[in-house]
Structure 1
């Protein structure tokens, strides 16, 4: 009887032995090779800036640069996709480049930073971010120009300053178009993914239509009411293209536009 009583304990020890042997090693965070994170001061305090650079020798003119808004969400997928496309070389038509993510931070700061001033206008009830402060786009773009870009231009990497692109989604797309219209020398190209053209009763769309021809513009939209606005705007201007994203909603368009955005910024032919 005493042997029978000890049998369950023995079986338990035997069965658990393989599980103990298969225990995983101590976990560690995933790291992206050839990348760094730095902090810069901006209108809303400290902003994280994430930079990923290629391996190998740069082109004679230096690396092109893609600045990605909402960096905490979009930096890693953009950097890894850019590297994969560059490895494909001639098959993808994409060369290597530097990807810079600028973290937005909390929603109220993002809404303020990504929207231009609109005197006597506030976000109406029922629209995204109703009740939040707006109008900080100029201060934020000042910070990009005076804090973020010098960090990239500081000599660690050879940079082709004629090939710097800004991409943003939603309010970030609105900001990218505002930058194209009001600071045409700041970027060679801008990509606006599902831009919030309704903001300010079409303020930024009017800015872009009135502005002299400046940077290359790619407007990308999924399904919805804004589709026609982006398409019409692209047809009205030189150096402006429209990319429809069938089957994509507002929330999925940034991911769907990742490869076209990288091709626009780092393409060997798309200039």
Structure 2
């Protein structure tokens, strides 16, 4: 009866999320599908990509978020919906989301020691598939899109097993790992557990965040539960200053429901130190006496923790620092920040208007006129305050033209 009830819930959730994604996402584009020609792997491999909606308007660079089992609709729609809302509210940075379609999960995800008896395991296995991700797919994505060094990966069941195995092969590749109900077995995966211990003893090149979840109901969760508990034992025994981990315990949850009940907590753990919304609250509360030092501290911290030499929301950060300096009447100091925001997002009407005000206060009237004209040109007609803003911009343009003539 419990299994039947769980299946009904999964079906209903799948219908719900399918309908939700059929509607327009708030912050991400509808996924587009592509295919990699065969090379390392003997068959072509399809994947889909969903970009931040403002990708084409800005010069910001974004992390890559890989979703394995990207052909599973309930998982695909869950991730898209959760990431969309978390991005919208500033709980995680905007990412380039990449969903990978699996042809044979056992071969794609299985460590060679576990699947060596399967047909074609010498041609496709977890090690080769990881090499494909590293040497073919990722370089292709990095050439095509503006990316950051940060790479996040989400895998469920065998996908979680694959991510653990990949971490031991190259611990610096994925900086954020979410393994939901990883398909771990104590006896079979003793090699993997030993490799994990050895990896954590090493000097990790990058800070890595690892989060995993486990339920208690159903055949799969009961089979994999001990393996998930073994991970806690290993991580506690081998602490590493560049490795943060969190276990999400889901008593009463079955294998197919663990992604639903763990994803928000996982993303929150991965990005709790990024948390731009909390950072802005401090900035706007009037508690920050020196916005420049405040920004520099964050920039250094984000580069150390996430590899961001420029934040994926850098245009907004630069604009807001500039506005704080402008409010403090430090117009000369505000200018480079407001200018950087416009350079990163030249079509943002508000950024151009903010820059114009600082340029006018600095008596750079010709520059202020050009910035304000760009603000008017890029003002969206669909904005509720379009008439009010356009009228003000036109009035200010006339005033600046008179100042220039004097």
TM-score of Structure 1 vs Structure 2, range by shorter chain: 0.7 to 0.9
Match of 1:54 in 2: 52
Match of 1:16 in 2: none
Match of 1:247 in 2: 252
Greater relative contact order, per chain length (Cα 8 Å cut-off, separation 6+): 1
Q: Supply the distance in 1 between the matched residues of 2:214 and 2:142 (Cα, whole angstroms).
A: 32
Q: Supply the distance in 1 between the matched residues of 2:269 and 2:98 (Cα, whole angstroms).
A: 15
1:150 maps onto 2:142 in alignment: no
Match of 1:70 in 2: 69
User: Which is richer in strand?
Assistant: 1
- Alignment match of 1:160 (pick from 148, 159, 172): 148
- State the Cα distance separating 1:99 from its structure 2 match: 1.3
- State the Cα distance separating 1:116 from its structure 2 match: 1.3
Which blocks of at least 5 consecutive residues in structure 1 are unaligned? 1-28, 123-130
- Alignment match of 2:109 (pick from 98, 105, 114): 114
User: Which is richer in helix?
Assistant: 2
Q: Supply the distance in 2 between the matched residues of 1:265 and 1:66 (Cα, whole angstroms).
A: 12
TM score, norm. by length of structure 2:
0.50
TM score, norm. by length of structure 1:
0.72
Q: Supply the distance in 1 between the matched residues of 2:52 and 2:114 (Cα, whole angstroms).
A: 44
1:185-264 equivalent positions in 2, closer than 5 A:
185-198=172-185, 200-211=188-199, 212=202, 214=204, 215-223=208-216, 224=222, 225-226=225-226, 227-236=228-237, 237-238=239-240, 239=243, 240-264=245-269
Q: Supply the distance in 1 between the matched residues of 2:159 and 2:181 (Cα, whole angstroms).
A: 9
Which blocks of at least 5 consecutive residues in structure 2 are unaligned? 1-20, 217-221, 276-301, 306-406
Contact 1:69–1:168, Cα closer than 8 Å, also in 2? yes
- Alignment match of 1:101 (pick from 99, 102, 110): 99
Q: Supply the distance in 2 between the matched residues of 1:247 and 1:264 (Cα, whole angstroms).
A: 22
- Alignment match of 1:140 (pick from 121, 124, 129): 129
Provide the aligned length of Structure 1 versus Structure 2.
227
Cα distance change, pair 132–143 in 1 and its aligned pair in 2 (3 A): same
Cα distance change, pair 266–41 in 1 and its aligned pair in 2 (3 A): farther
Q: Let me know the Cα RMSD of the aligned residues.
A: 3.0
